[in-house]
Amino acid sequence: MASTPSSAPRALLRPMVARGRDESHRAASPLELFFDLCFVVAVAQAGMSLVHAVAENHAGQGVLNYAMVFFAIYWAWVNFSWFSSAYDNDDALFRVVTLVQMAGVLVLAAGVSEAFDHHFFVLWLGYLIMRLAMVTQWLRAATGCTGDERGMALRYATGIALCQVGWLSLLLLPEEGRPWAFLVMVIAELCVPAVAEHRHSTTWHPHHISERYGLFTIIVLGESISAATVAVKSAVDEHNELGRLIPISIGGLLIVFAGWWIYFVVPVQGRLRSNRQAFLWGYGHYLILGSAAAIGSGIEICVEHTVGKTHISQLAANASVTVPTAVYLVIVWWLLARYYKAGTAQQLVLPVTTLLVLACTFAGEWAVLAAGLVLTATITVGVTLAARPPSRRRGGQAVG
């Protein structure tokens, strides 16, 4: 059951004060779940645009555009989620401002395909709506506190506002300068939390924030399944190629299922004890979430290649699945799994799997199925190693 700041009848307005980091039974609220669902639209649009770019043999530019757009999606979600973990009071004003942010997400989603064609105005407008709402939340938090905490809230509001002005560079600079401007702005955005919290830290909740990231990961993996399913159905309806699509369908499903298993087998919240640990973990999820969404796009590309709708080689189509899968595996191992491994054998499972998945790129039309079977074997090996008697291992948590 989702928690609320108080069991008393809900007031129209409550003071926005920091919630306790040790608060018991803290879980995602219905509003947060609703907020997350709006991002499904944006993630789906980014994945669809990546499919079109790669299928037309513009993989380099497509991946670059995808990386830029997905960061915009991810960072907007991050801004709200960490603030909400510390200051969600669930009153009427908090809800209304959050709904405004959700409207901004939908505007952003509407501008994703245009951003892949280097037209950023709609994307920037959606971001403007979200960031103005976020600044409003931080200014409201500042009115309810004093001292270092008030300074932190004001630095957040100022930093976010200045960064939003900086994003105007995507509209004003010539096309060749935009990737560099984007890189500068990414660095600026990532510095805002560090600067804002150098004297006082927000009281984000470890269990709550790990649950929020987990739920978003589920949404992204679900979107991968949805995109792949639609692609297979369309191919069968238009080209009647079910026999050739079965290996891709089975392999893709195994990859996504294994991705869920590997991510959720470890108790992450136990490691989130400081801002340094939490920020590194949170920032690293950009690669986890981005690669997870790209897996679905890769499966869709393989489907389209099988029915002759792409202008790329079989090897390139296979790489569109195996490369993001390998990125997902190595980042999950680096950020999560390696801390719960016991012994060399367990530590090597995911790194070795990553290499085997990349090797599957050269398996022709069977590449996706081969990668899926490799990941299935990985789960089996991981469970087997974790199930050994304690006398034969030093302890640790089961990880695929």
Q: 25: helix, coil or strand?
A: coil
What per-residue confidence (pLDDT) applies to 1?
Answer: 41
* Residue range 177-207, pLDDT digits in tens: 888 999 999 999 999 999 999 889 999 998 8
What per-residue confidence (pLDDT) applies to 73?
Answer: 92
Per-residue pLDDT at 398 exceeds 70: no
Per-residue pLDDT at 9 exceeds 50: no
Shared-domain flag, residues 281 and 303: yes
pLDDT confidence bin for 11, thresholds 50/70/90: low
What per-residue confidence (pLDDT) applies to 265?
Answer: 83
Q: For residues 210-248, b (16+ Cβ closer than 10 Å) or e, as one string?
A: bbbbbebbebbbbbbbebbbebbeebbeeeeeeeebebb
**CA-based nearest residue to 64, from 294, 343, 228, 309:** 294
What per-residue confidence (pLDDT) applies to 10?
Answer: 53
Shared-domain flag, residues 49 and 92: yes
pTM of the model: 0.88
Dist. CA 104–CA 148, nearest whole Å = 31
Per-residue pLDDT at 392 exceeds 70: no
Shared-domain flag, residues 82 and 141: yes
Shared-domain flag, residues 142 and 214: no
* Residue range 67-95, pLDDT digits in tens: 999 999 999 999 999 999 999 988 899 99
Shared-domain flag, residues 186 and 215: no
4 inside domain = no
CATH for 349? 1.20.1410
**CA-based nearest residue to 238, from 310, 314, 311, 307:** 307
**What CA–CA distances, in Å, run from 18 to 78, 85, 161, 181, 361?**
18, 9, 22, 35, 49
88 inside domain = yes
Residues spanned by the domain of 346: 206-392
**The domain boundary residue, chosen from 196, 221, 252:** 196
21 inside domain = no
**The domain boundary residue, chosen from 166, 196, 226:** 196
Unique residue bearing structure tokens 């805002």: 192
Q: Average of pLDDT values for 386-392? A: 64
Shared-domain flag, residues 299 and 166: no
Q: Other C-beta atoms within 10 Å of 11: how many?
A: 12
318 inside domain = yes
Shared-domain flag, residues 186 and 241: no
Unique residue bearing structure tokens 């789960």: 379
Total number of domains in the chain: 2
pLDDT confidence bin for 389, thresholds 50/70/90: low
Shared-domain flag, residues 388 and 251: yes
CB 99 within 8 A of CB 105: no
Shared-domain flag, residues 325 and 356: yes
Per-residue pLDDT at 394 exceeds 50: no
Compare 286 and 115 and report the one with higher pLDDT.
286
189 inside domain = yes
CB 109 within 8 A of CB 49: no
**The domain boundary residue, chosen from 135, 167, 196:** 196
Mean pLDDT over the full length of the chain: 88
What per-residue confidence (pLDDT) applies to 4?
Answer: 47
14 inside domain = no
Shared-domain flag, residues 167 and 232: no
* Residue range 224-245, pLDDT digits in tens: 888 888 878 877 777 676 778 8
Dist. CA 209–CA 84, nearest whole Å = 9
20 inside domain = no
Per-residue pLDDT at 298 exceeds 90: yes
Shared-domain flag, residues 221 and 355: yes
Shared-domain flag, residues 56 and 141: yes
Compare 396 and 16 and report the one with higher pLDDT.
16
250 inside domain = yes
Dist. CA 315–CA 359, nearest whole Å = 11
